[in-house]
Structure 1
Amino acid sequence: MSGRVRVGTVDELGPGERTIVEIDGEAVGVLNVEGDYYAIQNTCEHMGGPVCSGRVQGKLVAEFVEPGKRPEEDFSDDKTIACPWHGWEYELETGEHIGDDSISLETYDVVVEDGVVYVE
Structure 2
Amino acid sequence: MATGTGKEKTLYPVGLASEVPDGGRKIVEVKGMELGIFHIGDKWYAWRNVCPHAAAPVCEGVVCGTRMPSLVYEYAYGKDREVLRCPWHGWEFDLLTGKHLAEEDGVRLRGFEVRIINDEIFVAI
The answer to whether TM tops 0.5 is yes
Q: Percent identical across equivalent pairs?
A: 31
Task: Summarize the Cα distance change of 1:78–1:62 in structure 2 as closer, same or farther, 3 Å threshold.
Answer: farther
- Residue of structure 2 in register with 1:82 after alignment: 85
| Runs of at least 5 residues in structure 1 that lack an aligned partner in the other structure | none
Q: Distance in 2 between matches of 1:79 and 1:16?
A: 9
Counterpart among 12, 15, 29 of residue 5 in structure 1: 12
TM-score, normalised with respect to structure 1: 0.81
CA contact (8 A) 2:67 2:75 kept: no
Normalized against structure 2, the TM-score is what? 0.78
Q: 1:55 to 1:77 in 2, by over 3 A?
A: closer
Partner of 1:62: 69
Supply the distance in 1 between the matched residues of 2:21 and 2:75 (Cα, whole angstroms). Answer: 34
Deviation of residue 51 (structure 1)? 0.6
For 1:18, the equivalent position in structure 2 comes to 25
CA contact (8 A) 2:23 2:81 kept: no
Alpha-carbon spacing, 1:109–1:19, altered in 2? closer, same or farther (3 Å): same
CA root-mean-square deviation: 2.2
- Correspondence for 1:94: 97
C-alpha displacement of 1:76 = 2.9
What amino acid does structure 1 have at the position aligned with 2:119?
Answer: G
Q: CA deviation at 1:30?
A: 0.5
Q: Which amino acid aligns with 1:15?
A: D
Residue 106 of structure 1 aligns with an amino acid whose one-letter code is R
Which protein is richer in strand relative to its size? 1
Offset at residue 26 of structure 1 (A): 2.1
